């Protein structure tokens, strides 16, 4: 057996070698020549699994260690009997951490009020559901938009995109990239969208860059048609629009889902799926212990501090989002390197908070976010 693996997928080296030849390569460098005699590939979003890559190859199985799968040509795989799997929900809690950090950073550093404001969540799958949950913990009202789920469930708390546009103070996007069809999300945010939203709205996206027309957003920010933007994803990555970046409140290089815990989930899902397909003995394989970046206990004295400040200090200890922002602004040319060499980031549930002089309410909020109290 021959397996080609994206060399930035963590914790996988040495696991598959006993079953055959394993080649590690940068995701963007995996090509037809490399995979022509390959049985399986394990990838991320930078490897486009289409006819150009797969034609006349022996590939039988593709695992992407990501939630998204728009880089896989599903029709081509189906027509050529190639099994593919993604990793649903693998980094949802990482995106939850990112969104919590972003919202609290805006509140503390830009004096943007959260409590009582309305967050519109577009796409209520694994990541969208968790974002809705943290918004409620922070005292926000939430509106949910998910047309596929609304049709399928024929009930539930879903509203139209029109209603979100009309009432939301923040709108975040957690949708797959669909370039056509009834649920098209390509350029979901276009000029007609911008023309309808309040000039006080914040737009936040962690899904796919093409969901927002970046030129339209740049114009909207320049003309004060929206209050601000938080972007983790961009059109034309890694060559991003520098003028748009300068206009955004928070900018990061497509790393919202890059917690170590999320990466582990993606790797485990890929290895187990490969094992099941080829009848190996790794169906219950688990990654070794994940490294920790620093002490996992957070001490906070809440005396004289509002609850939001306490929440910010706890979240910021686990993930100082402004560092990713600063790094990207200082060196946009290293966009891919920043992703590939991303430092260890652990999620909330790994941290214990020792809080003195804090209210029962904020303790409960910390627990709901996942912290150990």
CA end-to-end span of the chain: 48
Cβ count within 10 A of residue 223: 10
Dump the DSSP string for 85-137: E--TTTTHHHHHHHHHHHHHHHHHHH----TT-EEEEE--SHHHHHHHHHHHH
For residue 41, report the phi and psi dihedrals to the nearest 5 degrees. -130, 140
Q: Beta 118-122 vs 170-173: how paired, if at all?
A: parallel
Q: Which residues pair with 121 in a beta bridge?
A: 144, 172
Q: Which of 370, 340, 346, 371 is nearest to 292 (CA)?
A: 346
E strand segments, 202-276:
202-205, 228-231, 250-251
The residues, any chain, with a CB within 8 Å of residue 371's CB and separated by 6 or more, are 298, 314, 348, 349, 351, 352, 353
In the beta sheet, which residues pair with residue 204?
172, 230
**Number of C-beta neighbours around residue 59 at 10 A:** 23
Residues marked as catalytic: 208, 237, 254
CA-based diameter of the chain, in Å? 68
């Amino acid at each position: 057996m021959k397996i080609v693996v994206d060399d930035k997928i963590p914790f996988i080296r040495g696991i598959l070698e006993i079953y055959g030849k394993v080649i590690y390569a940068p995701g963007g460098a995996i090509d037809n020549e490399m995979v022509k005699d390959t049985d399986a590939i394990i990838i991320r979003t930078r490897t486009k699994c289409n006819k150009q890559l797969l034609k006349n190859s022996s590939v039988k199985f593709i695992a992407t260690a990501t939630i998204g799968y728009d880089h896989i040509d599903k029709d081509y795989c189906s027509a050529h009997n190639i099994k593919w799997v993604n990793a649903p929900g693998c980094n949802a809690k990482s995106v939850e951490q990112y969104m919590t950090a972003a919202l609290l950073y805006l509140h503390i550093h830009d004096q943007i009020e959260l409590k009582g404001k309305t967050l519109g969540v577009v796409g209520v799958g694994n990541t969208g559901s968790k974002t809705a949950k943290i918004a409620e913990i922070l005292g926000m009202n939430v509106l949910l938009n998910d047309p596929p789920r609304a049709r399928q469930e024929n009930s539930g708390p879903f509203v139209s995109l029109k209603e979100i546009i009309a009432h939301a103070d923040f709108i975040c996007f957690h949708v797959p990239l669909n370039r056509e069809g009834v649920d098209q999300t390509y350029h979901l945010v276009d000029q007609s969208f911008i023309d309808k939203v309040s000039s006080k709205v914040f737009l936040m996206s962690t899904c796919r860059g093409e969901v927002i027309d970046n030129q339209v957003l740049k114009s909207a920010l320049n003309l004060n048609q929206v209050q601000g933007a938080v972007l983790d994803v961009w059109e034309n990555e890694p060559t991003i629009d520098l003028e748009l970046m300068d206009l955004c409140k928070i900018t990061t290089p497509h790393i919202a889902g890059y917690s170590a815990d999320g990466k582990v989930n993606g790797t485990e899902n890929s290895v187990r799926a490969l094992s099941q397909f080829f009848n190996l003995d790794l169906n219950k394989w688990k990654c070794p212990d994940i490294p920790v970046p620093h002490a996992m206990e957070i001490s906070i004295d809440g005396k004289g501090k509002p609850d939001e400040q306490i929440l910010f200090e706890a979240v910021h200890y686990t993930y100082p989002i402004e560092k990713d922002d600063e790094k990207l602004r200082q060196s946009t040319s290293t966009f891919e390197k920043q992703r590939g060499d991303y430092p260890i980031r652990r999620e909330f549930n790994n941290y214990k908070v020792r809080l003195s002089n804090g209210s029962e309410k904020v303790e409960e909020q910390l627990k709901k976010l996942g912290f150990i109290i």
